Every structure is written in C-alpha cells, then in structure tokens.
Chains A and B, each alone.
Chain A
C-alpha cells in the first residue's frame, strides 16, 4: 500500500510496527478514512475466503437442499443396501448408500439442515441473552456484576454434556429442547466476555460524557458500549458455533440428541458405527462434513476478529507476511 494519507492513529501504528518488527516507514500506512469493502478484505486472505465459501455452501445446502432431495433421505431401497461410493448409480448414489439403501448424499443434505437449525438458533439465543446480561452487569457493577458472574461460574463449572444428558432425559430430546439447553450452557461465555468489555468501557471518557448529559443507562449501553463490544462478541459467537455443533453431534451420537427419523451429522456417525468394518463411508463422510464446517468457522472467526475491529482492519489490506504477529483471538476467548 503506497497510500500517502497521514496516519489517523499514531498509537495503533507504532504498536503495529513493533509487532511486525519491520520498522520500514511509509509502506505500512493505514488506509484512508473510508474503510475498504469487506469482500475485498476477504479476497486478500485466501484462507478466510475459502472458509467463507465453504460456510456459505453449507448454509445454502441447509436452507435449500431439502427442496431438491425430496424424500430421498428417508426412502428405503433394500436392493441398494450398503453400496459403496461410485459413479454408477446416478447423482444420489455418488456417496454410497446406508444399510437401508438410503442415499448417503441425500441424508447428508438433510442432516445439514437439522444441524444448522439447531446450532444457529442456539448460538443466537446465547449471544443475545449473554451479551445483554453481561453488558448490563458490567456497566452497573456491584451486586449485579457479582450475581451474574457467580451464575456464569455455576453453569461453567459443570460439564455441559452431562447437563444436556440429564435435561434431555427429563424432557423429551426434541430439537427445541436441544436448542434451549445448548443456549443456556453457552450463555456464560458471552456473559463473561461482555461483562469484561463493558466494565472496562464504563470508565472511559465518552461514557462519562454521556452520563453527564443525563443519558439513561439503557441508551448508554446500546449506543456507546454495544458498538465497541460487538466485534469481540461476534468473534466469540463464530467460535462458539463450532462448539455448539460439536456438542449437538456428540449428543446425537450418544443417542439423546436428534432422534430418528430426523437425521443429523452426529446421528449419522452413530448409525454408521456398527458398519464400520464393511461400509466405512456411512460414518466417515458425515464426520468430514462436521470437520469442514467447524474448521471453516474457526478460520473465519480469526478473520472476523480483525475485520470488525477498526483499529486492526487495515492489517488485512497488507500481504500476509507483513501483517504483524498479533494474536488473532485473545486466549481468554478460545476456551
């Protein structure tokens, strides 16, 4: 970048320089005030672009796939039982069939829908509830903060899989219950992040100024704290999407998640497990689908982190080697 614009933020720049360890003056200049288009930023980062394409495909398949496959995911054909993946049996025979002769490809598409219908609402619920509570607790401090943090501690100190198992055993393992239990289990993650951000922001000058003018705390949180905390929260949400997907598939694998005749990727692995020695494709392929989706979400999370942070975004316009060594995601968010 040979952009001659003066540096808008000397501190960021100095910091970045130290990180990159290059110290070669003008070339690393942050771009002009108008932020670059996000798809251009995405195009610059090949890994993130591939991840975004994979995720977009998965979402498209999940949304519209069912329109094309019809009833092929549940249509049984015992004559076609356990066919290996091959080109001989048309498009739906491409990835082989399971023991009842159902097309694995059609089932993968059907399962993509189920998996995302569980994961996306769960992530959105916990994101909204956790962030709202966390920002409220962090902004006000005092007993509200203490109570919120203790609640988060309690939920987090118990293995989420076991809570889910107990709850799903008490209440029927329907998709709605899975969404609810996953949402509750993940609320503390957002609660902690949002609280930390808002506790730090509440003593900033612009928040003080807003308070001095008599802005109600609800509006301060909405107008002044949320926009700054949002990038971090979105990054956490992208990472958490993986976690929720993995937990859902673990539950389905254990037999207390999605129930047949519905199908999810985890359930497909469980169903394929007993045919492992004779028909590997039934268990292997849904696993690959899970890995592709979760790895893409993780890669994209690192990119979202940079792209949504105005102080960091310019790094994405540089070639990767000169971008500096900043940790993409702060360690306390990963777990």
Chain B
C-alpha cells in the first residue's frame, strides 16, 4: 500500500509542477500590467516606479525565483486589483467553491449510482431507455444556457428562487448546484450503467442469484462494489471539469468563488491572485487524484496489486 501510494504521489506531482510553471509563464505573456493600471498620461518615470514596486522589471527567471520562494512560505504577494494579500483573497474564495463542488459531486455520484443501477438492472427496459436519454441530454446541455434557463423559469417566471447572489437561505444553492450537477450526473449515469451491466453478467452475480439473494442485495451488495472503480476514475476527471463549470456558474450567479476570482484576475492581469488561485486549485486536484486512487485501492484489491508504473 505504501509503495502504491508513493508511486501515485510521484506520478501525480509531475503535472502539478508543470501547471504551476505553465501558469506563471502564461500569465507573464498576457502583457505588462503597467499599461492596464496606470493612466495613459503616466510618465516613463511613474511607469518604471510602478514596475519596480511590483517586481515586474526583474527578468522572468528572477520573478519566478521570487514567486517560488515566497510561495513556499504561503506568501503569494499582494493583489494589484484590490491591494489585499492574494492569500487572503484565495482563502476567502476557496471555501465557497469547495462547498459548491463538494455538494455537487456528492449528489452526482449518489444520484448516478441509484439511477445507473436501476437502468442496468433491466437493460433495454423503459427505465433504462429513459435514463439513457436523460443522461445523454444532461451531459450535452451547455451549462451557461441551463443556468440562464433556470433563472428565466424559476427566478423570473415563477419567482421561486433568487437569480443571483449568496445572501439568503438554502434556496440560493439550488440553481448553482443544479447547473454544476447536470453534466457530471449525465456522464456518471452512463458510466455506472455501463460497468453495472458488465458486473451483472459476471459469474459471481449468477452465483449470488442462485444462492437466492434478492435483487437489491445482488445489485447493491455484490455488483456495485466491483463496478464502482471506473465510476471513481471518471468522477475524478469530472471534478477537474467542475472548475470549468465553477467559472461559468460563479460568473452567472455572482458567487465570490475561486472560478470568478480566476477569470477576473486573468482579465485584469492580476498575476498574484491568479497564481495563488491556480496553485490552490492544482493542489486540490492533486490531492483529489490521490484520494481517488486510495479509495480505489481500498475498494478493489486488484488495483492494489497492479501498481501502474
């Protein structure tokens, strides 16, 4: 188990390093923020002073070195946009997105396990076809459009739910979570159904049936454990995609989360905030991948033995 964990950590850390370096370089490519933050009438002297104050006049390797040494001490500099510490901004925004994403994935996985198992229980039955069509549609709806339709129908038309903002009771969660939920849910239902169908035709399920186990016990007791491994893998990949969704959802509903922070920082060349936000996202995804691997190893002994290189 320790060897397994060590190998997985090393192979997942490589992308992490590349992402951090890549964002640093790409952010520098977006141009010098001086042009954006100082008026056109600024004298060359003022521009040089602004650059020096924020370290933009150093060479790129020097800037990178500063960035890495400070990041090691959890200091990501100050945001150009707000003058706040980037760390504070990110730590304020992160829990919002984490709650949103965590709730979404939990609901998506539980819902998909239920619907997918029901569909796989009787392949080509009415339930299976309805679930198939629904999941395909859910996975293909553009999330921004779904969000706008939600606002139109429930916010404007029926006046049941708030159209944006984070003030209010539990009803503020409904539309953002529903928007984030549709794609992972649709994809996962198809994955659960696919792997369930495979598991249900396996010999050990026949044995369980012939011993007289009921339908519920066969599906949830025997087949589910075996078919949950691919579901976890796909769920891990989908969580990366959830960041895409978070950008859209937080923009539309005005949530002060990490997605909105990132897009605002990119558009306003706020390097410090962008790098901190990307780093915390990358670290979360990294931790999540490890978690998925550990869960899989715990659930399925075959994964533990066949350690990937």
* A interface list, Cβ under 8 A from B: 18-19, 21, 146, 150, 153-154, 156-163, 165-167, 169-170, 242, 246-247, 249-250, 253-254, 266, 269-270, 273, 276-277, 280, 283-284, 286-287, 290-291, 294-295, 297-299, 320-321, 323-332, 334-335
With a cutoff of 8 Å between Cβ atoms, the chain A residues found around residue B197 in the complex are 325-327
Please determine whether A167 and B190 come into contact, CB atoms closer than 8 angstroms.
no
Say yes or no: is B213 at the interface (Cβ < 8 Å to chain A): no
Contact digits for B128-153, partner A, Cβ 8 Å, 1 yes 0 no: 00000000110111111100110110
15 pairs, A vs B, C-beta closer than 8 Å: A153-B15, A154-B15, A159-B244, A161-B243, A246-B143, A253-B142, A254-B251, A276-B152, A291-B145, A299-B136, A323-B124, A327-B198, A329-B190, A331-B190, A335-B237
With a cutoff of 8 Å between Cβ atoms, the chain B residues found around residue A326 in the complex are 197
Alpha-carbon distance between A232 and B305 when the two chains are bound, in angstroms: 28
With a cutoff of 8 Å between Cβ atoms, the chain A residues found around residue B303 in the complex are none
Contact check: which of A156, A277, A284 meets B149 at CB < 8 Å?
A: A284
With a cutoff of 8 Å between Cβ atoms, the chain B residues found around residue A270 in the complex are 144
Please determine whether B27 and A166 come into contact, CB atoms closer than 8 angstroms.
yes
With a cutoff of 8 Å between Cβ atoms, the chain B residues found around residue A277 in the complex are 156
Say yes or no: is B285 at the interface (Cβ < 8 Å to chain A): yes
Contact check: which of A146, A159, A169, A335 meets B30 at CB < 8 Å?
A: A169
Given the interface pairs A276-B152, A287-B148, A334-B190, the reply to whether A298 lies near B267 with Cβ below 8 Å is: no
Say yes or no: is B224 at the interface (Cβ < 8 Å to chain A): no
Report the stretch among B18-26, B39-47, B64-72, B102-110 that lies at the interface: B18-26
**Interface size of B as a range:** 35 or more
Please determine whether A329 and B194 come into contact, CB atoms closer than 8 angstroms.
yes
Which of chain B's residues has its CB closest to A247's CB? B244
With a cutoff of 8 Å between Cβ atoms, the chain A residues found around residue B145 in the complex are 249, 269, 283, 286-287, 290-291
With a cutoff of 8 Å between Cβ atoms, the chain A residues found around residue B79 in the complex are none
With a cutoff of 8 Å between Cβ atoms, the chain A residues found around residue B31 in the complex are 170
* Minimum distance in angstroms from A286 CB to a CB of chain B: 8
Please determine whether B136 and A295 come into contact, CB atoms closer than 8 angstroms.
yes
Say yes or no: is B223 at the interface (Cβ < 8 Å to chain A): no
Which of chain B's residues has its CB closest to A294's CB? B140
With a cutoff of 8 Å between Cβ atoms, the chain B residues found around residue A253 in the complex are 142, 144, 248
Q: A18, A286, A334 — which one has the most chain B CB atoms within 10 A of its CB?
A: A334
With a cutoff of 8 Å between Cβ atoms, the chain B residues found around residue A335 in the complex are 187, 191, 234, 237-238, 241
Alpha-carbon distance between A274 and B144 when the two chains are bound, in angstroms: 14
Please determine whether A167 and B26 come into contact, CB atoms closer than 8 angstroms.
yes
Say yes or no: is B117 at the interface (Cβ < 8 Å to chain A): no
* Minimum distance in angstroms from B128 CB to a CB of chain A: 8
With a cutoff of 8 Å between Cβ atoms, the chain A residues found around residue B141 in the complex are 291, 294
Please determine whether A266 and B124 come into contact, CB atoms closer than 8 angstroms.
no
Please determine whether A266 and B144 come into contact, CB atoms closer than 8 angstroms.
yes
With a cutoff of 8 Å between Cβ atoms, the chain B residues found around residue A320 in the complex are 124
Please determine whether A291 and B194 come into contact, CB atoms closer than 8 angstroms.
no
Alpha-carbon distance between A126 and B21 when the two chains are bound, in angstroms: 24
Alpha-carbon distance between A30 and B143 when the two chains are bound, in angstroms: 42
Say yes or no: is B278 at the interface (Cβ < 8 Å to chain A): yes
* Minimum distance in angstroms from A301 CB to a CB of chain B: 9
With a cutoff of 8 Å between Cβ atoms, the chain A residues found around residue B16 in the complex are 157
* Minimum distance in angstroms from B24 CB to a CB of chain A: 11
Please determine whether A280 and B152 come into contact, CB atoms closer than 8 angstroms.
yes
With a cutoff of 8 Å between Cβ atoms, the chain A residues found around residue B15 in the complex are 150, 153-154, 156-158
Alpha-carbon distance between A286 and B251 when the two chains are bound, in angstroms: 20
Alpha-carbon distance between A266 and B262 when the two chains are bound, in angstroms: 21
Please determine whether B30 and A166 come into contact, CB atoms closer than 8 angstroms.
yes
Please determine whether A156 and B237 come into contact, CB atoms closer than 8 angstroms.
yes
